[in-house]
Amino acid sequence: MLNIKVLGPGCNNCHMVEEAARAAVAAMGVEAEFEKVTDREQFAKYGLLFTPGLVINEKLVAAGRIPQEIEVQAWIANALAVA
């Protein structure tokens, strides 16, 4: 199962990143566990300088922007291929 984390203070952009990730997961028919990380100290653990951030299986895949659903699908496919 995938582990997906949305890093950010809980702003509107953070919600948009989560929506894109959830849509990608649903479109691909895979299972994923979602987590919201709002602790700024945790951001540094992933090397995140600008929010929002998206982490898939402990790898930062997007930072400081809202990715398109198709991008998230590609990252999920890559994460599944590595797992």
Q: Is 35 a catalytic residue?
A: no
Please report, for residues 19, 45, 68, 70, the alpha-carbon distance to residue 74 in angstroms, rounded to integers and kept in the order given: 16, 23, 10, 6
Among residues 3, 9, 10, 11, the one annotated as catalytic is: 11
Strand order in the sheet with 32-37: 32-37, 2-7, 53-56, 59-63
Among residues 14, 24, 48, 72, the one annotated as catalytic is: 14
Q: Is 11 a catalytic residue?
A: yes
21's tokens: 């990730």
- Which residue, among 51, 57, 21, has the nearest Cα to 39 in the 3D structure? 51
Residues serving a catalytic function are 11, 14
